[in-house]
């Protein structure tokens, strides 16, 4: 379906009035050919390849943004999971690779570089264990590196051994970055059913089935959808869904247009448009506000999960009609710290971790940018991850946990990172112990739905 001038004009209107932006244009780069016996040589090859392929990425994104009048909030790079590139290295050697990633990201001017990652859904290699051990130091010693680990899938089940290691890594990351409100944890996510073409950080990585280099785009657009829901004030649910679909169709088309133009200037293939509604801390750019505009008194009220299901499904349907290149996670994100509606609901006590978990059953990703007391036990964090992974495994969907046990903070306080990461109230966590449960270890077996051969 060709793009026309009227679509560009409508996109400009959405940008100026309704907070629409392209959240990210993310260049994915294969680093498997950078592997070497020596970590120093591998690090050098990584730096050289990223700076060579990405040297014009930021400038090209700016040129497209200026040409079409559409804001591109972030320019990013994702790379092959580093545990594969550095297989056999020690934790100390992985740190050299993290530092090379950070230097390369700084040199080309991108906001973040993601892919300091491992895929551990069925088992742990020596390289996986070493990378996980290195994560806290890597995130504490770099500014732009983001990390993710996949601990479960519908095909493999949930690797509780990897989950426990990640809970320990999260706690240590919080401690090492305590002087910045444990910000390292905001750059670390644990997945079940991670996708290979996700343009959003912290969970992006360049999958091994992807091309040598590719450009993926992630849209935003909660503000645009919010205005559409407000305009459909007296509509029934079917009419409301249609209105959301029409709006999401338009922003998907705009996102693909911008992504293809950046890819063209970068000289790389276009990959996917991720049609996730990604909120920001700005007023009027909130998924929580959309749910309230549907008629809920606040996020967390009875009906919240149903409202989110309608929103998520409508966005996905519209995306699939608008483009043949929809990918990534595509749906609605519900990060607490990055969404004013969610922040307010959490501060009022209307939104609990348990309600958030229920909401993750019907939307994209999972418990995202959730801050909890710094003394939350390691086993409790592991069990929270296990719960989310179980939802993803059983329902054959991507789920994740980006949790911040804010060092030295307690319930009623908050952490403030500014920018897109926003401000998160410290949410209460049930003090019931999961220690004996998590110490069983091993792997929760895959469900019957995994047997689809």
Rg of the chain in Å (alpha carbons): 21
pLDDT over 70 (residue 27):
yes
pLDDT over 90 (residue 312):
yes
Which contacts (CB < 8 Å, 24+ apart) does range 165-170 have? 165/124, 165/129, 165/132, 165/133, 166/132, 166/190, 166/382, 166/385, 167/378, 167/379, 167/381, 167/382, 167/385, 167/438, 168/378, 169/132, 169/133, 169/135, 169/136, 170/381, 170/403, 170/405
- 164 vs 220: CA distance, rounded Å: 33
Average pLDDT of span 198-223 = 94
- 221 vs 331: CA distance, rounded Å: 11
Q: Which residue has the tokens 């360049």?
A: 206
pTM of the complete model: 0.94
Cβ neighbours of 325 (radius 10 Å): 18
Same fold, 5-192 and 221-439: yes
| The 3-state secondary structure of 39-64, one letter per residue | HHHHHHHHHHHHHHHHCCHHHHHHHH
pLDDT over 90 (residue 19):
no
SS3 of residue 317 by DSSP: helix
Side-chain-side CA neighbours of residue 276 (13 Å): 27
pLDDT, one tens digit per residue, over 423-432 is 889 999 999 9
pLDDT, one tens digit per residue, over 237-276 is 999 999 999 999 989 998 999 999 999 999 999 999 999 9
Closest to 219 in 3D by CA, of 365, 71, 13: 71
Q: What is the mean pLDDT of the chain?
A: 93
- 398 vs 193: CA distance, rounded Å: 5
The distance in angstroms from the start CA to the end CA of the chain is: 35
CA dihedral sign of residues 413, 139, 137, 431: positive
Which pLDDT does position 10 carry in this prediction?
A: 57
The answer to whether the CB of 424 falls within 8 A of the CB of 343 is: yes
pLDDT over 70 (residue 189):
yes
pLDDT band at 4 (very low <50, low <70, confident <90, very high): low
Hey, what are 182's tokens? 């444990």
Q: Is 306 exposed, middle or buried (0-12, 13-18, 19+ CB in 10 A)?
A: middle
Average pLDDT of span 105-127 = 97
pLDDT, one tens digit per residue, over 60-84 is 999 999 998 888 999 999 999 999 9
Strand partners, 403: 370
- 238 vs 190: CA distance, rounded Å: 35
pLDDT, one tens digit per residue, over 344-401 is 999 999 999 999 999 999 987 889 999 999 999 999 999 999 999 999 999 999 999 9
Cβ neighbours of 392 (radius 10 Å): 26
The answer to whether the CB of 364 falls within 8 A of the CB of 398 is: yes
Better-scored residue on pLDDT, 103 or 70:
103
pLDDT, one tens digit per residue, over 404-424 is 999 999 998 999 998 888 888
Strand bridging mode 22-29 / 213-219: antiparallel
Percent of the chain with pLDDT over 70: 96
Which pLDDT does position 365 carry in this prediction?
A: 81
Identify the H or E element spanning 373: strand 367-373
Average pLDDT of span 214-243 = 93
Closest to 265 in 3D by CA, of 59, 75, 5: 59
- 220 vs 258: CA distance, rounded Å: 13
Helix segments in 56-148, DSSP class H: 57-68, 82-85, 91-108, 126-141
Neighbouring residues of 299: CB distance < 8 A, sequence distance ≥ 6:
288, 291, 292, 341, 342, 344, 345, 350, 351
pLDDT over 50 (residue 5):
no
Q: Which residue has the tokens 């959405």?
A: 14
pLDDT, one tens digit per residue, over 269-300 is 999 999 998 888 888 889 999 999 999 999 99
Identify the H or E element spanning 228: helix 222-231
- Identify the weakest region by mean pLDDT among 6-10, 127-131, 167-171, 266-270: 6-10
Hey, what are 101's tokens? 């990633």
Strand bridging mode 72-79 / 367-373: unpaired
- 26 vs 88: CA distance, rounded Å: 28
Report the length, in residues, of the chain. 453
Domains of the chain, by residue range, sit at 5-192, 221-439
Strand partners, 92: none
- Identify the weakest region by mean pLDDT among 91-105, 152-166, 377-391, 439-453: 439-453
Which pLDDT does position 121 carry in this prediction?
A: 97
What DSSP character marks residue 412?
A: T
So what CATH class is 221-439? alpha beta
Provide the CATH number for the domain formed by 5-192 in this structure. 3.20.70.20
Closest to 144 in 3D by CA, of 233, 208, 77, 198: 77
């Amino acid at each position: 379906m060709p793009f026309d001038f009227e679509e560009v004009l409508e996109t400009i209107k959405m940008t100026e009035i309704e907070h629409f932006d392209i959240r990210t244009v993310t260049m994915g780069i294969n680093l498997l050919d950078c592997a070497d016996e020596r970590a120093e040589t591998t690090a050098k090859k990584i730096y050289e390849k990223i700076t060579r392929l990405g040297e014009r990425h930021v400038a090209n994104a700016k040129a497209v943004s200026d040409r079409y009048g559409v804001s591109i909030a972030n320019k990013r790079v994702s790379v092959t999971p580093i545990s594969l590139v550095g297989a056999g290295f020690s934790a100390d050697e992985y740190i050299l690779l993290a530092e090379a990633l950070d230097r390369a990201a700084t040199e080309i001017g991108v906001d973040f570089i993601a892919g300091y990652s491992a895929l551990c859904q069925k088992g742990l290699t020596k390289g996986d264990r070493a990378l996980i051990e290195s994560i806290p130091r890597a995130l504490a010693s770099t500014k732009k590196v983001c990390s993710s680990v996949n601990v479960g899938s519908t095909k493999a089940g949930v690797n509780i051994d990897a989950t426990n290691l990640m809970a320990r890594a999260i706690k240590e990351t919080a401690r090492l970055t305590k002087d910045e409100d444990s910000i390292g944890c905001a750059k670390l996510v644990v997945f079940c059913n991670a996708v290979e073409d996700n343009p959003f950080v912290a969970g992006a990585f360049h999958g091994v089935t992807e091309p040598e280099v590719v450009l993926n785009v992630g849209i935003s657009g909660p503000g645009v959808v919010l205005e559409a829901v407000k305009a459909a004030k007296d509509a029934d649910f079917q009419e409301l869904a249609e209105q959301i679909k029409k709006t999401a169709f338009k922003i998907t088309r705009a996102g693909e247009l911008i992504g293809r133009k950046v890819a063209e200037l970068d000289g790389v293939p276009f990959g996917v448009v991720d049609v996730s509604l990604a909120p920001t801390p700005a007023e009027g750019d909130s998924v929580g506000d959309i749910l309230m505009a549907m008629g809920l008194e606040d996020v967390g009220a009875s009906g919240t999960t149903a409202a989110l299901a309608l929103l998520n499904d409508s966005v996905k349907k519209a995306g699939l009609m608008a483009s043949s290149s929809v990918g990534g996670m595509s749906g609605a994100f519900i990060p607490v710290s990055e969404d004013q509606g969610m922040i307010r609901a959490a501060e009022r006590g209307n939104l609990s971790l348990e309600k958030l978990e229920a909401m993750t059953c019907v939307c994209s990703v999972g418990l995202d940018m959730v801050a909890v007391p710094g003394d939350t036990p390691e086993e409790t964090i592991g069990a929270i991850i296990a719960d989310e992974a179980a939802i993803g495994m059983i329902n054959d969907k991507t789920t994740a946990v980006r949790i911040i046990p804010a060092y030295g903070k307690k319930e009623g306080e908050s952490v403030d990172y500014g920018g897109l990461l926003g401000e998160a109230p410290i949410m209460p966590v049930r003090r019931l112990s999961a220690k004996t449960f998590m110490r069983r270890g091993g792997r929760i077996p895959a469900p019957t739905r995994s047997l689809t051969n």
